[in-house]
């Protein structure tokens, strides 16, 4: 199994947000990301520059943001973890708000090996 590329939690959150927005909207712009994440547009611009340099996204001259194959792969992995972990926590009786917050923290620090083992165990139970 290949190792995850080194990318920080903040970058993973941005990639996940771009993925979610791209499923809801025909195009994604920095202003959409800033609004969704409740961040300043200037902070998002810096992050987009970083993701562009890491070849995780492309940005058109019109300012439309698209995930590259590698960016999409990471975004989908993080989003899958988020959905799975938050759903599992809610099934355990954790409130929705707490489950979503905890899943957001857990999704970033877990190895792929541990996540897959947990997922297999829960699905087989």
Summarize pLDDT for 53-88 with one digit per residue, the tens: 999 999 999 999 999 999 999 999 999 999 999 999
Question: What is residue 2's predicted lDDT score, i.e. its pLDDT?
Answer: 45
Task: Label the pairing between strands 65-67 and 57-59.
Answer: antiparallel
Percent of the chain whose pLDDT exceeds 90: 85
Tell me the torsion sign for CA atoms 101, 104, 109, 111. positive
Q: Is the pLDDT of residue 3 over 80?
A: no
Question: What is residue 60's predicted lDDT score, i.e. its pLDDT?
Answer: 96
Q: Is the pLDDT of residue 102 over 80?
A: yes
Query: Over the chain, what is the mean pLDDT?
Result: 92
- Split at pLDDT 50, 70, 90, the class of 5 is low
Element of type H or E holding 87: helix 69-91
Q: Per DSSP, what are the bridge partners of residue 67?
A: 57
Q: Which long-range CB contacts under 8 A does 83-89 form with residues at least 24 apart? A: 84/115, 84/119, 88/122
Question: What is residue 47's predicted lDDT score, i.e. its pLDDT?
Answer: 96
The tokens describing 106, both together, are 């857990």
């Amino acid at each position: 199994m290949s190792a995850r590329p080194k990318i920080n939690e903040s970058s993973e959150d941005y990639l996940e947000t771009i993925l979610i927005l791209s499923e809801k909207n025909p195009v994604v712009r920095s202003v959409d990301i800033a609004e969704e994440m409740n961040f300043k547009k200037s902070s998002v611009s810096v992050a987009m520059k970083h993701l562009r340099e890491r070849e995780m996204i492309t940005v058109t001259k019109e300012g439309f943001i698209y995930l590259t194959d590698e960016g999409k792969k990471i975004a989908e992995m993080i989003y899958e973890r988020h959905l799975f972990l938050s759903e599992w926590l809610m099934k355990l009786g954790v409130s929705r708000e707490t489950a979503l917050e905890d899943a957001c923290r857990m999704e970033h620090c877990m190895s792929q090996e541990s996540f897959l083992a947990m997922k297999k165990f829960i699905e087989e139970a």
